[in-house]
A and B are shown apart, each in its own frame.
Chain A
């Protein structure tokens, strides 16, 4: 699946994560900002990339500003931002959930 536009989902409220996805050249380039990066940075990155792969995305530039979100929140925001970027919001990807 090809990313058509830059898209954002999520807020900067505590326990949320804001994810911005735009076109990338190859693979995933993730820029992560998080107070819990030391302890959970790898896990956050993994949830984002796994979710994007499930959406059929193979390369993207991702900027994530995490405010202590749990995995379920990270996944939900990634799906929202991902589908917006792909321009497929009219067809929710239920199986990715």
Chain B
């Protein structure tokens, strides 16, 4: 059957995995029953364990679901150390349910799949050799990709039932009070890991820095933790985040960023007390700079900035241009440090950030978001998951979640090298066009025809040509030519859930 974004979903698959087809971005007002974890009662005096080997032996059994967070990004030492031990102990048939998978984990995951240790995966995304491996049919069961908000929803629903969470932290006391802000390998907000700490049946903290009891501020609390393991090093501080964020000099990115700024400033949402989320790409960082000037010029300040935080955003907080930063993860050292020193930078968990089945998530209150795209099609559907060769190489992240903002702007170059970004149909639908409002390219903008209000607000800006999305698509094709269609087999290697848990698209094995 076809879902509402015109994607063919195999009936057999829908039935076997009991999926509903995606219909709408509207969540409605259902009543939801959340689950609760099993608690192994303890007074807390015997939580410290000497080795990963011992804790794996005590906690992980065949067929379980295990989880990790990805706040260490490419500086992560915890994932590989734990998985090594799990593979070596011959444990089989695990479901791997991390908040996301970074490149440094790829080889270990492939080894675990080949050894039969891991037979199911759910993640926000995957890239590099692992994406390639899965796209070529390396894992028998399809990978399930979920946005950060959807992962929180799935955990609360019990769709993801975590048996053991292995959470690396830069500090913890002997009972498990821990935060992400002090120590050698700091990353700031523990946003995604807080879900695992709250809902996993067994929570194992790994740290290289045991602090005197009680350790505060405690983001993860002793009431949630079963084991504390002392390791040599949890991560490489140099690879956790980018260092100082540079202001892009790429004229194309600057042009896109200044146009994004024009769109925001001339939208009905640019008024005192507005809120926004930007990403971490070159253009997104530049937007923050332009926006800063526009806010000063117009004497406007923002009530909050949301999502993955970078230093340019915390600079605005320190200047008093933003009242609060609501922080689910930090992309650079500056932002991570600021969380420690600035009380107006609030750590939020993934549920508070973006879970649709909630009593109000931050994204529900968001005015403006700037998001990127690998591809966007003439229906405004966005792909951030599969590359132009059809191979998995991306992550949903908070894309679907933040796109529910009142003004969702996709910033993307018209073409990248010989690859068109604006296409007739995206390879994989991740975020439905229904929630996308404006596309900004270096050549001009396209406005979703459903947004008559934005069409009238943005149609006569000097220096901002407005095209139909079909015109932009044709412009791209005239430059690069018409690509040969990608070839896939019939086998499904990955499922893309929408944030409400319905199925929005599938990814098939590439034919080489």
Least CB distance from B447 to A in Å reads 28
Q: Report yes or no: A15 in contact with B417, Cβ–Cβ below 8 A.
A: yes
Least CB distance from A86 to B in Å reads 28
What 1/0 flags go to A72-87 for Cβ under 8 Å of B? 0000000000000000
Q: Which of B416, B418, B480 has the most chain A CB atoms inside 10 A of its CB?
A: B418
Q: Report yes or no: B479 in contact with A38, Cβ–Cβ below 8 A.
A: no
Least CB distance from B485 to A in Å reads 8
Set of chain A residues within 8 Å of B389, measured between Cβ atoms: 35-36, 38-39
B483 at the interface (CB under 8 A from A): yes
Take A36-B388, A38-B389, A38-B486 as given contacts and tell me if A43 and B481 are in contact as well, using a CB distance cutoff of 8 Å: yes
A93 at the interface (CB under 8 A from B): no
Q: Report yes or no: A39 in contact with B479, Cβ–Cβ below 8 A.
A: no
Q: How far is it, in angstroms, between the C-alpha of A42 and the C-alpha of B483 when the chains are bound?
A: 10
Q: How far is it, in angstroms, between the C-alpha of A70 and the C-alpha of B484 when the chains are bound?
A: 15
Q: Report yes or no: A42 in contact with B479, Cβ–Cβ below 8 A.
A: no
Instruction: Closest A residue to B420 by CB, please name it.
Output: A39
Q: Report yes or no: A70 in contact with B479, Cβ–Cβ below 8 A.
A: yes
Q: Report yes or no: A68 in contact with B483, Cβ–Cβ below 8 A.
A: no
Set of chain B residues within 8 Å of A61, measured between Cβ atoms: none
Q: Report yes or no: A36 in contact with B486, Cβ–Cβ below 8 A.
A: no
Least CB distance from A25 to B in Å reads 29
Instruction: Closest A residue to B511 by CB, please name it.
Output: A38
What 1/0 flags go to A39-67 for Cβ under 8 Å of B? 11111000000000000000000000001
A31 at the interface (CB under 8 A from B): no
Set of chain B residues within 8 Å of A38, measured between Cβ atoms: 389-390, 484, 486-487
Q: Report yes or no: B417 in contact with A39, Cβ–Cβ below 8 A.
A: no
Instruction: Closest B residue to A15 by CB, please name it.
Output: B417
Instruction: Closest B residue to A39 by CB, please name it.
Output: B483
Set of chain B residues within 8 Å of A39, measured between Cβ atoms: 388-389, 418-419, 483-484, 486
Task: Identify which of residues 1-42 in chain A touch chain B, using a CB-to-CB cut-off of 8 Å.
Answer: 14-15, 35-36, 38-42
Q: Report yes or no: A36 in contact with B419, Cβ–Cβ below 8 A.
A: yes
The size bracket of the interface on B is 10 to 19
Task: Identify which of residues 401-422 in chain B touch chain A, using a CB-to-CB cut-off of 8 Å.
Answer: 416-419
Q: Report yes or no: B417 in contact with A14, Cβ–Cβ below 8 A.
A: yes
Set of chain B residues within 8 Å of A70, measured between Cβ atoms: 418, 479-481
Q: Is the interface of B mostly helix, strand, loop or mixed?
A: loop
Set of chain B residues within 8 Å of A43, measured between Cβ atoms: 481
Q: Report yes or no: B417 in contact with A40, Cβ–Cβ below 8 A.
A: no
Set of chain A residues within 8 Å of B479, measured between Cβ atoms: 70
Q: How far is it, in angstroms, between the C-alpha of A27 and the C-alpha of B347 when the chains are bound?
A: 66
Instruction: Closest A residue to B481 by CB, please name it.
Output: A43
Q: How far is it, in angstroms, between the C-alpha of A41 and the C-alpha of B390 when the chains are bound?
A: 15
Q: How far is it, in angstroms, between the C-alpha of A67 and the C-alpha of B486 when the chains are bound?
A: 19
What 1/0 flags go to B364-389 for Cβ under 8 Å of A? 00000000000000000000000011
Q: How far is it, in angstroms, between the C-alpha of A87 and the C-alpha of B37 when the chains are bound?
A: 77
Q: How far is it, in angstroms, between the C-alpha of A67 and the C-alpha of B416 when the chains are bound?
A: 11
Task: Identify which of residues 462-495 in chain B touch chain A, using a CB-to-CB cut-off of 8 Å.
Answer: 479-481, 483-484, 486-487
Selected contact of B481 from candidates A14, A35, A67, A71, CB within 8 Å? A71
Q: How far is it, in angstroms, between the C-alpha of A42 and the C-alpha of B482 when the chains are bound?
A: 11
Set of chain A residues within 8 Å of B480, measured between Cβ atoms: 40, 70
Task: Identify which of residues 345-365 in chain B touch chain A, using a CB-to-CB cut-off of 8 Å.
Answer: none
Least CB distance from B30 to A in Å reads 43
Q: How far is it, in angstroms, between the C-alpha of A40 and the C-alpha of B417 when the chains are bound?
A: 12
Q: Report yes or no: A42 in contact with B419, Cβ–Cβ below 8 A.
A: no
Q: How far is it, in angstroms, between the C-alpha of A15 and the C-alpha of B287 when the chains are bound?
A: 26
Least CB distance from A36 to B in Å reads 5
Q: Report yes or no: B418 in contact with A69, Cβ–Cβ below 8 A.
A: yes
Instruction: Closest B residue to A71 by CB, please name it.
Output: B481
Q: How far is it, in angstroms, between the C-alpha of A76 and the C-alpha of B487 when the chains are bound?
A: 31
Q: How far is it, in angstroms, between the C-alpha of A38 and the C-alpha of B388 when the chains are bound?
A: 9
Q: Which of A14, A36, A39, A68 has the most chain B CB atoms inside 10 A of its CB?
A: A39
Set of chain B residues within 8 Å of A41, measured between Cβ atoms: 484
Least CB distance from B391 to A in Å reads 10
Set of chain B residues within 8 Å of A35, measured between Cβ atoms: 389, 417
Q: How far is it, in angstroms, between the C-alpha of A59 and the C-alpha of B427 when the chains are bound?
A: 38
Set of chain B residues within 8 Å of A36, measured between Cβ atoms: 388-389, 417-419, 483
Least CB distance from A48 to B in Å reads 14
Binding site for B on A (CB under 8 A): 14-15, 35-36, 38-43, 67-71
Given contacts A38-B390, A40-B418, 19 further A-B contacts (CB under 8 A): A14-B417, A15-B417, A36-B483, A38-B486, A38-B487, A39-B389, A39-B419, A40-B481, A40-B483, A40-B484, A41-B484, A42-B484, A43-B481, A68-B416, A68-B417, A68-B418, A70-B479, A70-B480, A70-B481
The 4 closest A-B pairs by CB, nearest first: A68-B417, A39-B483, A68-B418, A36-B418
10 interchain pairs, CB-CB under 8 A = A36-B389, A36-B417, A36-B483, A38-B487, A39-B419, A39-B484, A39-B486, A68-B419, A70-B418, A70-B481
